[in-house]
């Protein structure tokens, strides 16, 4: 068996915008308000924000100040750093999109653990190493608007940048390379293949393969880095993401900033103290 990180350069795409939907801003606002009115009962549903005017940000100036004060900034990947959901895209590419979507819906309804849902979805897709390689070449992920500039600014300011994802390293590694983030700063799941390159299983020892894994990964980052920053200031870590698992990474993260540039998770929008819809709002 072997880890699934594939050595390749992420192909470039024509245009970096995620705007492909035709949903109007008015409809988006109505959908979001209806979800919030239900006190989060529809929290598993995601509302597309590819309309011209996404939801109102929440305290973006304070969020930008928090970023300046942070020593470490951690990003979710799917629907945050990139526009897509990697495993859903891979499933569709392998002709298993509808089957995987059904399992995803059941998992969101709480009928199974995250790790069980991951196992079932991968057993449905069963991608080979060659299929994964072809998928990355033929369907490269799309970076979210302004995320590349934002990451460059963070690194220029001397901050540590990490990617923490429930997705797979083989799909995320090309994205990390384009952003200049070392693979050692990436926490993600690993597909395992047999000697013929056929799918075998996934690494269940990875923290992001189970519920609460992102908080566990941030705890590992705290142990890995010095417990204190410059002087006597404690290490400040901020998590940015679109999903509930990102929101629940606090603690051990000090702060959470919700991101709704691609999709809005109503529960996250309701619970997040800080919420942005474009990374430029943090620059």
Catalytic residue numbers read: 76, 78
Cα(116)–Cα(157) distance, integer angstroms: 40
- Collapsing DSSP states into helix, strand and coil, what is residue 217? helix
Cα(186)–Cα(79) distance, integer angstroms: 16
Cα 229 to the center of its chain, rounded Å: 26
CA end-to-end span of the chain: 43
Structure tokens at 108: 């969101």
Q: Give per-residue burial for 35-58: e unless 16+ CB within 10 Å, then b.
A: bbeeebebbbbbbbbbbeebbebb
Cα(12)–Cα(143) distance, integer angstroms: 10
Cα(145)–Cα(148) distance, integer angstroms: 8
CB 185 within 8 A of CB 41: no
Tell me the pairing of strands 47-48 and 199-202: unpaired
Cα(25)–Cα(67) distance, integer angstroms: 28
Q: How many CB atoms lie within 10 A of CB 99?
A: 14
Q: How many CB atoms lie within 10 A of CB 223?
A: 9
């Amino acid at each position: 068996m072997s880890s699934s990180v594939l050595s390749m350069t992420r192909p470039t795409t024509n245009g970096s915008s995620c705007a492909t939907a035709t949903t109007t801003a008015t409809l988006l606002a109505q959908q979001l308000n209806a979800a919030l009115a239900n006190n989060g009962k529809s929290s598993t549903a995601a509302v597309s924000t590819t309309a011209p005017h996404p939801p109102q940000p929440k305290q973006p100036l304070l969020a930008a100040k928090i970023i300046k004060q942070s020593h470490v900034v951690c990003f979710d990947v799917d629907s945050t750093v990139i526009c897509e959901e990697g495993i859903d895209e891979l499933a569709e590419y392998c002709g298993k999109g509808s089957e995987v979507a059904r399992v995803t819906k059941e998992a969101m309804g709480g009928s199974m653990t995250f790790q069980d849902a991951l196992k079932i979805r991968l057993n449905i897709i069963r991608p080979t190493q060659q299929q994964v390689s072809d998928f990355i070449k033929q369907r490269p992920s799309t970076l979210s608007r302004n995320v590349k500039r934002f990451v460059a600014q963070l690194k220029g300011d001397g901050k540590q940048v990490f990617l923490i994802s429930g997705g797979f390293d083989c799909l995320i590694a090309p994205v990390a390379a384009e952003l200049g983030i070392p693979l050692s700063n990436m926490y993600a799941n690993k597909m395992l293949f047999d000697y013929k390159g056929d799918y075998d299983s996934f690494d269940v020892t990875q923290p992001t393969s189970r519920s609460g894994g992102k908080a566990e990964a941030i705890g590992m980052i705290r142990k890995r880095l010095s417990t204190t920053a410059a002087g006597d200031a404690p290490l400040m870590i901020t998590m940015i993401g679109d999903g509930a698992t990102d929101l629940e990474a606090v603690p051990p993260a000090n702060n959470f900033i919700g991101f709704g540039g691609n999709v809005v998770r109503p529960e996250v929008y309701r619970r997040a103290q800080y919420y942005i819809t474009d990374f430029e709002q943090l620059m």
